[in-house]
Chains A and B, each alone.
Chain A
């Protein structure tokens, strides 16, 4: 907004609910603030907390769009609040916590617990080769293109947007979500991981895994890191069918 132009009055409508307060019920509460140049929802929410209501719970860490803490439903869609500029939204902005995840209070949800559970279930780590790695020796070589491809999928920040945006995940508690499928695709690519397709099939070759996905593609459309989820899930589905049918 150029200088001199009138600043908008914003109404930030927040879904308030603290499950630890006996008798508390979910309700929408409005806060009026004045928009500022380059205002993000991070700035707006902190302004509200500092001046209007110190009790609102929300989570920010990096405030730079890289840690994945601040995902919330912004006008009904999951997104990272810290990098959402208010000028791209209407004068009334509705904020709600991410669904699927356990609510802490107000806009704060426990994505960490869900992600840890998913990681444990999918064994989402590089299964290192047997025997000691010799740290004194030159590292194993890897093709630069392959390294880039792995990085492309490694960029997931576990923000949970894809899970909150997915109709399947909302219906079925055990669905691993695009985040989980992307992890499997990532480790599958990685030559340092000793697992085979047979192992991966064990992990995601069922209706809670890749065959549960109904290709709604909301995950792909809301992922703040623009991960190629559509392509990766399709790819994984083909590989898993191959594994499931041909062994």
Chain B
């Protein structure tokens, strides 16, 4: 048995994992990154539109600051987020952009003088300030009050991960590519590494570490139609769940993106709408203003997606052989804009749809896009129930997105979380009591257990077919746990998934070839995926309210009185057929922004009993505070939660030091 030792084992080579490893390494701890694919091919690469940070450089972003970013994020989350974590995040995001700028990300920059933009279907001239010339530019994105999204044309994630991965190479951090973590090694209370399968040779290895971090990204492939990469199968979520000790938070919160091209599911960025693109129906009518007169196309994603599906249900969808869809019209942005700022979009339309978005409409329909739920951690990124296990990025739930994350907040989160958790993980390793004693027996036991599971699958030549199981699961999730949910459908999903779970325990493969064996990969992953699917479906069926992306047609109101709490799911026993759900209340009395109306979507919600009192207190504080910093400090101090190196205000053109 081969054992690899390191201080920090980072599972996942996306933006979150890379940045976290750099943090730990720069503090003097050895780090190894595991990844299914070369790090730069991780799904962070796919982020197009941009990264939110309240720099306030562009004219339309002037006056932006952490406070506004904070409010946008909390409203976006439908008050599901942990407000302290959001504060940590919004304060670090500008630092993250600036760090990336220094590392070589070619951020699009502000050009002084006049320029033409399209706002709300109208051509408008904006004049950029001279003093902003050459600073990082921002564009408009859904759910934000100011133009806050920093971008690199529409290949932001690509440029970001290229720069961060390059810095990881500069720091000599090894990335063990084509290696998949199959299980976490733990004794029920302390995590000590992972059992890993080499996807080239097929052999199993053990990695033993003081601290293990899950940064494995999303789980979009639980759905049939998703914008996620094919490797986003939620394996990090699953191995945490299978410990029985770590919990997954808010798994029922699944985001659907309004504009995935139809039927391939490939995303065209929110930047299309941010830059002025419009949604139209079969008749060519712009329908969003009918539903959302204020934010129109730029309401938050959950709202726009629901409105689109609603509009299709009313019979307004364009029909095609594969079903119905709507149109995204960016022709009004003009050829030059599309060829420079929306180049990826042009590529995608050209190569996958065979249309030219300069002249043609783009066929779109909402598709699964983002997994708000993840491994539950404290604001330091550590699991409260499994010591030595950390999580960051999309796979984590520390919980800054609540029930809906805003566009552009996710790549920002990955880097910010990497910066913050990287420091805390280094602190953890610094502490003498956390030195890992190598429990050889335990490691051996875990490797053997995983080997036995794989052997059982390979030996079962006439078992269930893995691809069939996966397809059935994806179909169930898409049809019954989608944008609109009802009790009856969710029950059907839970029921169906439980049957699939039973069948998956009998999965077999035809090929026993050594090496990668892709069929075997599908087989062992599908077992885990069905468990995750159940966690989502079951959580959704129990939550009898609508919040953020979780929308119950039978309970359309947000219900703070009963449901202002976070779902925690654990999988206690191997033979269980359902997760165990617990709930963690959110404390209204400590909220800087007490629950209210989001500013878009339904105005109808049931208040928490403590909300009015807290709201009054906050209003009072606003009237008396000296400045915004003092007000913030008085309502919800958070700076002590940040690592010392990341504390401090951010300089802006309008807020000089």
Contact B37 A57 (CB under 8 A): no
Residues of chain A within 8 A of B110, CB atoms compared: 144
Tell me the chain A residues, 124-146 only, with Cβ under 8 Å from chain B. 124-128, 133, 135-144
Task: Say if the beta carbon of B432 comes within 8 Å of chain A.
Answer: no
Segment 110-126 of A: residues with Cβ below 8 Å from B: 110-113, 115-116, 119-120, 123-126
Q: Is the CB of B170 within 8 A of A125?
A: yes
A176 within 8 A of B: no
Residue of A21, A125, A128 most packed against chain B (CB within 10 A): A125
Q: Does A69 contact B (CB under 8 A)?
A: yes
Segment with Cβ contacts to A, from B38-46, B81-89, B247-255: B38-46
**For window 25-40 of chain A, which residues contact chain B by CB distance below 8 Å?**
37-38, 40
- The verdict on A144 contacting B155 (CB below 8 Å), with A54-B519, A57-B516, A69-B37 known, is no
Which residues from chain A contact B572 at a C-beta distance below 8 Å? Answer: none
With both beta carbons as reference points, the residue of chain A lying nearest to B509 in the complex is identified as A54
Q: How many interface residues does A have (CB within 8 Å)? A: 67
* B82 nearest CB across to chain A (Å): 24
Q: Are A104 and B515 in contact (CB under 8 A)?
A: yes
**Distance, CA A18 to CA B92, complexed state (A):** 48
CA distance in complex: A80, B177 (Å): 20
Task: For B648, list chain A residues within 8 Å (CB).
Answer: 136
Q: How far is the CB of A34 from chain B (nearest CB, A)?
A: 15
Name the CB-closest residue of A to B99: A135
- Is the Cβ of A192 less than 8 Å from the Cβ of B175? no
List, in ascending order, chain A residues with CB within 8 A of B102's CB.
126, 128, 133, 139-140, 192
Q: For B97, what are the chain A residues with a Cβ–Cβ distance below 8 Å?
A: 139
Please indicate the chain B residues that have their CB under 8 angstroms from the CB of A64 in the complex. 46, 266-267, 348, 352
Asked if A55 and B106 sit within 8 Å, CB to CB, the answer is no
| Nearest chain A CB to B624 CB, angstrom units | 28
Of A18, A85, A116, A139, the residue contacting B169 (CB under 8 A) is A116
- Asked if A105 CB lies within 8 Å of chain B CBs, one says yes
Stretch at the interface among B156-164, B276-284, B375-383, B585-593: B156-164
- Within the complex, the shortest CB–CB distance from A2 to chain B, in Å, comes to 10
Asked whether, in the complex, the Cβ of B517 is within 8 Å of the Cβ of A55, the reply is yes
Contact between B166 and A119 (Cβ–Cβ < 8 Å)? Answer: yes
Judge whether A125 and B513 touch: CB under 8 Å.
Answer: no
Q: Which of A18, A124, A138, A192 has the largest number of chain B CB atoms within 10 A?
A: A138
- Cα A12 to Cα B485 in complex, Å, equals 41
Contacting pair A155 B155 (CB below 8 A): yes
- Contact indicator B229/A147 (Cβ below 8 Å): no
**CB proximity to A under 8 Å, residues B18-62:** 37-43, 45-46
B323 at the interface (CB under 8 A from A): no
List B contacts of A140 (CB < 8 A): 101-102
Contacts of A3 in B (CB 8 A): 321
Q: Is B195 an interface residue (CB 8 A)?
A: no
User: What does the 1/0 interface line of B53-93 toward A look like (CB < 8 Å)?
Assistant: 00000000000000000000000000000000000000000
Report if A93 contacts B (CB, 8 A). Answer: no
- Chain A binding site: helix, strand, loop or mixed by DSSP? loop
A21 touches B166 (CB 8 A): no
Residues of B close to A19: CB separation below 8 A? 515
- Known contacts A138-B652, A151-B106, A154-B106; is-contact A61 B135 (Cβ 8 Å): no
Judging by beta carbons under 8 Å apart, are A110 and B200 in contact? yes
Q: Is the CB of A139 within 8 A of B515?
A: no
Count of interface residues, chain B, beta-carbon cutoff 8 Å: 83
The residue of chain B having its C-beta at the shortest distance from the C-beta of A112 within the complex is B38
Task: Report if B626 contacts A (CB, 8 A).
Answer: no
Partner of B41, one of A50, A69, A105: A69
Measured between beta carbons, the chain A residues less than 8 angstroms from B134 are 141-144
- Contact between B178 and A104 (Cβ–Cβ < 8 Å)? yes
Which chain B residues border A108 with CB–CB below 8 Å?
Answer: 516
- Most chain-B Cβ atoms within 10 A of its Cβ — which of A49, A54, A120, A142? A54
Q: Taking the complex as formed, is A67 at the interface, i.e. its CB lies under 8 A from any CB of chain B?
A: yes
Q: Which of A61, A119, A155 contacts B43 (CB 8 A)?
A: A61
> Whole-angstrom distance from the CB of A36 to the nearest CB of chain B?
10
Cβ-closest chain A residue relative to B157 = A66
Asked if B108 is at the interface (CB within 8 A of a chain A CB), the reply is yes
B651 touches A150 (CB 8 A): no
Q: Which of A38, A119, A150, A192 contacts B264 (CB 8 A)?
A: A38
Q: Are B516 and A105 in contact (CB-based, < 8 A)?
A: yes
A124 partner residues in chain B, CB cutoff 8 A: 166, 169
A54 to B467 alpha-carbon distance, docked (Å): 9
A151 pairs with B153, CB closer than 8 A:
yes
Q: Does B133 contact A (CB under 8 A)?
A: yes
Within 8 Å of chain B (Cβ to Cβ): is A60? yes
Known: A62-B43, A63-B266, A65-B351. A144 touches B518 (CB 8 A): no
Query: Max chain B CB contacts within 10 Å: which of A55, A133, A135, A157?
Result: A135
B650, CB-defined interface residue at 8 Å: yes
Output the nearest chain A residue to B231 by Cβ-Cβ distance: A61
Please give the distance in Å from A40's CB to the nearest CB on chain B: 7
Given contact pairs A38-B352, A136-B95, A139-B135, A120 touches B106 in the complex (Cβ within 8 A): no
Q: Which residues of chain B have C-beta atoms less than 8 A from A126's C-beta?
A: 102-104, 163, 166-167
Cα of A233 to Cα of B196 in the assembled complex, Å: 41
Those of B598-612 within 8 Å (CB) of chain A = none
A142 CB contacts on chain B under 8 angstroms: 107, 109, 134
Contacts of B152 in A (CB 8 A): 151, 154
The residue from A104, A125, A127, A141 contacting B516, defined by CB atoms under 8 A apart: A104
Interface residues of A in 61-108 (CB under 8 A from B): 61-69, 83, 85, 104-105, 108
Contact A61 B230 (CB under 8 A): yes
Kindly state the separation between the CA atoms of A65 and B348 in the bound complex, as whole angstroms. Answer: 8
Of the listed residues B39, B201, B651, the one surrounded by the most CB atoms of chain A closer than 10 A to its CB is B651
| CB of B123 closer than 8 Å to a CB of A | no
Residues of B within 8 A of A63 (CB): 229-230, 266
In the complex, chain B residues whose CB is within 8 Å of the CB of A110:
177-178, 200
B492-528: CB near A (< 8 Å → 1, else 0) gives: 0000000000000000011101111111001000000
Judge if A56 is at the interface, Cβ distance under 8 Å: yes
Least CB distance, B353 to chain A, in whole angstroms: 8
A144 lies within 8 A of B516 (CB): no
Q: Is the CB of A147 within 8 A of B43?
A: no
Q: B356 at the A/B interface (Cβ < 8 Å)?
A: no
Q: Is B617 an interface residue (CB 8 A)?
A: no
Docked pose: A111 CA to B178 CA in angstroms: 11
Which residue in chain B gives the minimum CB-CB distance to A183? Answer: B166
Closest 7 CB pairs of A and B: A112-B38, A141-B134, A54-B519, A126-B104, A125-B166, A20-B515, A135-B95
A-B pairs with beta carbons under 8 Å apart, 30 shown: A20-B202, A20-B514, A20-B515, A50-B467, A50-B471, A54-B510, A55-B511, A62-B43, A65-B348, A65-B351, A66-B155, A68-B40, A83-B352, A104-B200, A104-B515, A110-B200, A116-B175, A119-B169, A124-B166, A125-B169, A126-B103, A135-B95, A136-B648, A136-B649, A137-B98, A139-B97, A139-B98, A140-B102, A148-B153, A157-B158
Given contacts A67-B37, A125-B104, A158-B40, 19 further A-B contacts (CB under 8 A): A19-B515, A20-B201, A20-B513, A38-B263, A38-B354, A54-B467, A57-B518, A113-B177, A125-B169, A133-B102, A135-B95, A136-B649, A136-B651, A139-B135, A144-B109, A148-B106, A148-B108, A150-B106, A151-B159
Q: Which residues of B contact A (CB under 8 A)?
A: 37-43, 45-46, 95, 97-99, 101-104, 106-111, 133-137, 152-153, 155, 158-159, 162-163, 166-167, 169-170, 175, 177-178, 200-202, 229-231, 263-264, 266-267, 321, 340, 344, 347-348, 351-354, 466-467, 471, 509-511, 513-519, 522, 646, 648-653, 657
* Chain A residues proximal to chain B, CB less than 8 Å: 3, 18-21, 37-38, 40, 49-50, 54-57, 59-69, 83, 85, 104-105, 108, 110-113, 115-116, 119-120, 123-128, 133, 135-144, 147-148, 150-151, 154-155, 157-158, 187, 190, 192-193
